[in-house]
Amino acid sequence: MKVAIQNNDKPVSVEVANKLRHLLENADIEINQINPDILITIGGDGTLLSGFHRYAHQLDAIRFIGVHTGRLGFYTDWREYELESLVESLKNDDGESVSYPLLDVTVIYEGDRAENNFLALNESTVQKVGGTLVSDVYIDDVHFERFRGDGICVSTPTGSTGYSKSVGGAVLHPRIEALQMSEIASINNRVYRTLSSPLVIAKDEEIIIKAINSDELLLTMDHITSRESDVKEVHLRIADESIRFARYRHLNFWDRVSESFIGEKN
């Protein structure tokens, strides 16, 4: 087994990463940052997102493990004081994994410019730089609405507890292979009208966003931001790829949600 380690720069995470390296070496587990079988991230969900994008081109070969050194994360099953148990689980690894869907984002440009393709673990947003986004929204080939507002957020089930939730989206269980589209501050009056409700899109459907003014669009994929111009269409769908977590124990999703957003139960 080959293991890569990625940590944030907080002192506690650096300390935990150094301890983990020592434990892996003592267990004769190879540390390989180039072609790992497993990536262990140390920090929080942001660190795991960074690791996902770093190794996005190797998803068919890598499983992910998150160790959180702060508050509870949705992608981080292990705590910093459980490293010995984690290494023991690695030694007894049988290849088992849990897979979650990803978001495929394809940007098609005007003219002969080649299209651009991205993957997101949590969500993607389409916004207008310094102004109101006006765009036609299609679900597959069916025109659904003309949107006016700050932007549109499309999230995966695992991303439904993040930015999507903050703009009014529902929380979806990760086993549901679907996308969720939520409006960001839509304009609704007698002239402009949208559904003003999040939509859950089936896994075999595609969301197409056609901006009326495609100059200076702001496109995000998780924590990555890209300024785009001359955009003809943005296509969003469930990706063919998926992310695999090496989960030697399963933490209940609804317990995570309750603990993160509600707190200690009476």
Residues 136 and 202 in one domain: yes
User: Between the CA of residue 7 and those of 33, 67, 260, what are the distances in Å?
Assistant: 12, 9, 22
Task: Give the whole-angstrom CA distance, residue 109 versus residue 7.
Answer: 36
Residues 13 and 67 in one domain: yes
Q: How do the residues of the chain divide into helix, strand and coil, expressed in percent and rounded to 5?
A: 20, 40, 35
Question: What integer pLDDT is reported at residue 201 of this predicted model?
Answer: 95
Say if residues 103 and 119 touch (Cβ distance below 8 Å): yes
Residues 118 and 233 in one domain: yes
Residues 78 and 132 in one domain: no
Number of domains in the chain: 2
pTM for the model stands at: 0.92
**pLDDT average per 10 residues of sequence, the chain (266 residues):** 96 97 96 97 94 96 93 81 95 90 95 93 94 94 94 96 94 92 93 91 96 89 93 96 86 82 71
Rg of the Cα atoms in the chain: 20
Number of neighbours of residue 202 by Cβ within 10 angstroms: 12
Question: What integer pLDDT is reported at residue 264 of this predicted model?
Answer: 65
Residue 21, helix vs strand vs coil: helix
Q: Assess if residue 125 is contained within a domain.
A: yes
Residues 80 and 113 in one domain: no
Residues 177 and 60 in one domain: no
150 CA to centre of own chain: 21
Write the DSSP assignment of 145-161 as a string of letters. Answer: EEEEEEEEEEE-SGGGG
Annotated active-site positions, please? Answer: 45
